[in-house]
Amino acid sequence: MSVFSHDAFDGHEQVVFCRDAESGLKAIIAIHNTSRGTSLGGCRMWPYANEEEALTDVLRLSRGMTYKSALADLPFGGGKSVIIGNPQTEKTPALFHAMGRFVESLSGRYVVAEDVGISVPDVETMSKETRHVAGITAGGSGDPSPATAFGVFEGIKAAVAFKLGAPDLKGIRVAVQGLGHVGWELCRLLHEAGAQLIVADLNRQQTQRAVEWFDAQVSAPDAIIREAVSVYAPCALGATINDASIGELRCAIVAGSANNQLAEERHGALLRDRGILYAPDYVINAGGVINISHEKRLTGDKPYVKATAFAHVARIGNTLTEIFEIAERKGISSAQAADSLAEQRFKRAGHRKAA
Ligand code: NAD
C-alpha cells in the first residue's frame, strides 16, 4: 500500500497510523492542510474491508475538510480520522481512551469531533485523554443538525434568488429527500417561509408527520428525485446524482445537506449542461462545523453565543452566490468554481504563514 503516491494523497502534511494492542485500536489520522489553522474534522468508525479502503476514505475526507473550512471562513485547516471497526459491536471505552491519547500526541495539530459511527459520548471519552476535541455536550454547542439545516435553508434562498430571480420562497416547490435530523428541521424552516413541500423517507411515520405538520405531499423514496420541483434537496444519502438519475431530474436547483451528492466529479459539469444549478454540498452543509467552531474550546476564550454562530452560518448564502457568479463568468461548473475559490483561500493563507 503506497501513501505518498496514493491517488488521494494530494499533498497531505501528515498521516498517522495508530495502533494500540491492548484496546485493539487501529486508526488513521490524516492532516491535509493547516495553512488556515489547526486541522479540524470528525472521526469516523467503519468496518472497512481493508486498510487501503480506510486510507482512501480518510485522505479524501480530510482534504474535503480543508476546502469546507476555507469556504466557511473558518480559521481551521482540514483533517479527519478513521477507526477501523464495527461501530455496532466493537466500541469500548478503552478504544476511545487510546484514540484520545493519539489525538493528544499531535499536540493540537488535529481537533477531533464526531462523524459517522461515532457519537457524542464516544468523543467525550476521548476528551478524558485530550482537550483537542469539539462538539461535545459539556461547554459545547450541542447537536449540529439545526445549524446545518439553517445553512441549507439560507443556501436554498440564495440559489432560488440566483436561478429563478425569486425574492423569497413563497410558493416555491421543494422536494426534501430524508426527514432525519437535518431534513426535518429544513422542512420546518421551508414551511415557515411559505414553500410547498414534497417529502420522502423510508420511515412512513415520519412522512405522515410531515403531512400533518407541514402540509407536505408524500413521494416514494425512489421517485422523489423525479418530481417536477424548483429545488431538489437531498438530505439522506450521498451519490444520488449519478449516471442513472441525472437524465431524470426535473428540478431547476439541487441544494441539500447530504455529503458527496455527486457520484463522480464529472456529474457537476453534467448538471450544468442540463441547466440545473448545483449548490456544492460541502459549502451548503457547513452549518454544523461553523456552529462548532464558535465553541469556547475552539475560539480560545469567547463563550458560545448561538446568535453569533447562526449569523456566521447565514453567510453560506453569500458564499454560494459568489460561487454561482464565478461559475457563470468563467463558464465552469459550480463545483469547480467552489474548489478553485477554496484553493485560493487556503493557498493564500499558506503564503501569508510562510512569509
Ligand atoms: P439522519 O440519519 O438523521 O437522517 C437521514 C434520514 O434519511 C432518515 O430519516 C432516513 O430514514 C432517511 N433515508 C435513508 N435512506 C433514504 C432513502 N433512500 N430515501 C429517503 N429517505 C431515506 O441524518 P442527518 O443527520 O439528518 O443527515 C442527513 C445527511 O446530511 C447525511 O448525508 C449527512 O452526512 C449530511 N450531513 C449532516 C450534518 C448534520 O449536522 N447532521 C452535517 C453535514 C452533512
Domain ranges of the chain: 3-128, 144-286+315-343
Helices and strands (H and E) in the chain: how many: 13, 11
**Matching fold, domains 3-128 and 144-286+315-343:** yes
Distance 286 CA to ligand 1 centre (A): 14
The cell numbers describing 292, all together, are: 462548532
From 148, 289, 293, mutation site for ligand 1 pocket: most ligand atoms within 8 A of C-beta: 148
What is the rounded distance in angstroms from the CA atom of residue 55 to the CA atom of residue 52?
A: 5
Neighbours of 38 (CB within 10 A): 18
The cell numbers describing 106, all together, are: 499531535
Phi then psi dihedrals of residue 172, to 5 deg: -75, 130
| Closest C-alpha residue for ligand 1 atom 23 | 180
Query: Which pLDDT does position 296 carry in this prediction?
Result: 75
Distance 208 CA to ligand 1 centre (A): 17
Neighbours of 47 (CB within 10 A): 14
DSSP H or E stretch at residue 340? helix 334-354
Query: Which pLDDT does position 348 carry in this prediction?
Result: 78
Distance 180 CA to ligand 1 centre (A): 5
What confidence category does residue 279 fall into, taking pLDDT thresholds of 50, 70 and 90? very high
Question: Which strand ranges, in their side-by-side order, compose the sheet holding 25-33?
Answer: 14-20, 25-33, 77-84, 39-46, 110-114
Burial of 321 (0-12, 13-18, 19+ CB in 10 A): middle
From 65, 197, 235, mutation site for ligand 1 pocket: most ligand atoms within 8 A of C-beta: 235
Rounded mean pLDDT, 84-92: 97
C-beta of 179 in contact with ligand 1 (< 6 A): yes
From 57, 241, 257, mutation site for ligand 1 pocket: most ligand atoms within 8 A of C-beta: 257
C-beta of 280 in contact with ligand 1 (< 6 A): no
What is the rounded distance in angstroms from the CA atom of residue 336 to the CA atom of residue 185?
A: 29
Distance 194 CA to ligand 1 centre (A): 23
Rounded mean pLDDT, 78-105: 97
C-beta of 144 in contact with ligand 1 (< 6 A): yes
Active site residues: 80
C-beta of 181 in contact with ligand 1 (< 6 A): yes
What is the rounded distance in angstroms from the CA atom of residue 29 to the CA atom of residue 236?
A: 26
Distance 239 CA to ligand 1 centre (A): 13
Sequential DSSP letters for 42-94: EEEEE--SSHHHHHHHHHHHHHHHHHHHHHTT-S-EEEEEEEES-TTT---HH
Rounded mean pLDDT, 286-307: 87
DSSP H or E stretch at residue 296? helix 296-299
Note the pLDDT tens digit of each residue in 180-235.
Answer: 999 999 999 999 999 999 999 999 999 999 999 999 999 999 999 999 999 999 99
Under CATH, domain 3-128 is a member of which superfamily? Leucine Dehydrogenase, chain A, domain 1 (3.40.50.10860)
Query: Which pLDDT does position 354 carry in this prediction?
Result: 63
Average pLDDT, the chain: 94
What is the rounded distance in angstroms from the CA atom of residue 148 to the CA atom of residue 183?
A: 10
Query: Which pLDDT does position 349 carry in this prediction?
Result: 74
Give a three-class secondary structure readout of 176-219: EECCCHHHHHHHHHHHHCCCEEEEECCCHHHHHHHHHHHCCEEC
What confidence category does residue 355 fall into, taking pLDDT thresholds of 50, 70 and 90? low
CATH level 2 (architecture), domain 144-286+315-343: 3-Layer(aba) Sandwich (3.40)
Sequential DSSP letters for 132-183: -B-S-STTS---SHHHHHHHHHHHHHHHHHHHH--SS-TT-EEEEE--SHHH
Beta carbons of 93 and 125 less than 8 angstroms apart:
yes
C-beta of 77 in contact with ligand 1 (< 6 A): no
> 226 versus 354: which is more confidently predicted?
226
Burial of 195 (0-12, 13-18, 19+ CB in 10 A): buried
The cell numbers describing 300, all together, are: 480560545
Residue 332 clears pLDDT 90, i.e. is over it: yes
C-beta of 240 in contact with ligand 1 (< 6 A): no
Residue 300 clears pLDDT 90, i.e. is over it: no
Query: Which pLDDT does position 139 carry in this prediction?
Result: 62
